[in-house]
């Protein structure tokens, strides 16, 4: 099958998927029903230029990670997902690969939280999807590339985020993340992306090497449901509850940020979301 068939399929699906179907505002002055290239590129975490080259057949060898990102952003069916992988020359991920697919039932739950900062991570703590309120709170995640999308990498190597932490809290969090990554690597020994991530962290950080070789799987000091203080550039400090929900059947982690109603933090969070969403739309 000619190389451009992958790009044609992406374009056909993009043309039929409405902004509302993927959680975007409909906008004005649309000539067509479907998504704009810039919108799909942002949802998939790739550049609009690269998406253009894919659709036009000028880029013919998308990685499995790119295919997964596009399939997830377009919210396609399992059958279309399988075909998209085949057209790109890849086998669809099996049970021995870290799941990155958000099933429809989970997506429906996320859609109900459209006004709450929410991010979804896979078992390696690599960001799969973040909604607009999360980007407004934490910074635009579509700009994160490669290992920057991984929470272990960002906390150990950088760049630093907006969450303020004591050194003790930071060290405890990093130890827990490395411990979880070690367990993930043991569950998915055939997943090359996990191997590459561990190799990159090993090369970049002596701290990671020490924690990885230590092999400590003991209990953490922090409770899984905890409060975080965010230094927001427009509204100042916001202290929020951060709860991580685990979808066991799909090995996903859903991180949700909320504030107690009627508090100053709730008001600041609402303002941050409004201001940040306006900035992202512009």
How much of the chain, in percent, has pLDDT values that exceed 70?
Answer: 93
Q: State which residues form the domain around 263.
A: 104-281
Last residue within a domain, chosen from 87, 118, 146: 87
Q: Which of the four pLDDT bands, split at 50, 70 and 90, describes residue 103?
A: confident
| Total domains, the chain | 2
* DSSP letter for each residue of 38-103: HHHHHHHTS-HHHHHHHHTTS-----HHHHHHHHHHHT--HHHHHHHHHHTT-PPP-TTS------
> What tens digit of pLDDT does each residue of 251-272 get?
999 999 999 999 999 999 999 9
Peptide bond into 36 cis (omega under 30): no
Considering the domain architecture, whether residues 66 and 150 belong to the same structural domain is answered as no
CATH of the domain at 193: 3.30.450.180
Query: 239 pairs with which residues across the strands?
Result: 229
pLDDT, one tens digit per residue, over 210-223 is 999 887 665 455 55
Q: Does 93 fall in a domain? A: no
Phi-psi region of 55 (alpha: psi -120 to 50; beta: other; left: phi over 0): alpha
Tokens 């969450």 locate to 163
pLDDT reported for residue 265: 97
- Token pair of 231 as six digits: 């230094």
Query: Looking at residue 27, what is its pLDDT?
Result: 66
- For 162-212, how does the pLDDT look when each residue is reduced to its tens digit (9 = 90+)? 999 899 989 989 999 999 999 999 999 989 899 999 999 999 999 999 999
**CATH number of the domain to which 12 belongs:** 1.10.260.40
Residue 96 lies in a domain: no
pLDDT of residue 242: 94
Average pLDDT over residues 101-118: 90
Whether 248 and 177 share a structural domain: yes
Model confidence pLDDT, tens digit, residues 44-77: 888 999 999 999 988 888 988 899 889 988 988 8
pLDDT > 60? residue 82:
yes
Is 98 part of a structural domain of the chain?
Answer: no
Question: Does residue 244 belong to any structural domain of this protein?
Answer: yes
Instruction: Please work out, in degrees rounded to the nearest 5, the angle formed at the alpha carbon of residue 104 by the alpha carbons of 56 and 196.
Output: 60
What is the model's pLDDT at position 217? 60
Confidence of residue 224 (pLDDT cuts 50, 70, 90): very low
Do residues 72 and 121 share a domain? no
Do residues 33 and 138 share a domain? Answer: no
């Amino acid at each position: 099958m000619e190389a451009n068939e992958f790009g044609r399929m992406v374009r056909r699906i993009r043309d039929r998927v409405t902004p509302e179907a993927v959680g975007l505002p409909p906008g004005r002055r649309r000539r067509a029903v479907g998504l704009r290239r810039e919108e799909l590129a942002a949802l998939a975490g790739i550049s609009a230029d690269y998406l253009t080259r894919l659709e036009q057949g000028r880029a013919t060898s998308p990685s499995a990670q790119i295919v997964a990102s596009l399939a997830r952003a377009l919210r396609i069916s399992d059958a279309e997902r399988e075909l998209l992988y085949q057209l790109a020359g890849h086998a669809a991920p099996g049970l021995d690969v870290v799941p990155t697919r958000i099933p429809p039932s989970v997506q429906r739950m996320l859609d109900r939280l459209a006004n709450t900062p929410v991010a979804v991570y896979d078992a390696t703590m690599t960001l799969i999807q973040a909604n607009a309120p999360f980007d407004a709170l934490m910074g635009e995640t579509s700009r994160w590339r490669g290992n920057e999308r991984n929470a272990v990498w960002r906390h150990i190597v950088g760049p630093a985020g907006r969450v303020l932490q004591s050194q003790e809290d930071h060290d405890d969090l990093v130890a827990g993340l490395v411990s979880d990554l070690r367990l993930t690597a043991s569950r998915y020994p055939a997943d090359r992306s996990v191997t590459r991530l561990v190799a990159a962290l090993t090369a970049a950080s002596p701290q990671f090497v020490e924690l990885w070789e230590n092999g400590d799987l003991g209990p953490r000091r922090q409770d899984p449901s905890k409060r975080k203080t965010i230094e927001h550039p427009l509204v100042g400090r916001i202290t929020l509850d951060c709860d991580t929900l685990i979808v066991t059947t799909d090995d996903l982690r859903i991180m949700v940020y909320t504030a107690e109603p009627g508090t100053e933090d709730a008001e600041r969070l609402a303002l941050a979301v409004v201001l940040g969403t306006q900035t992202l739309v512009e």
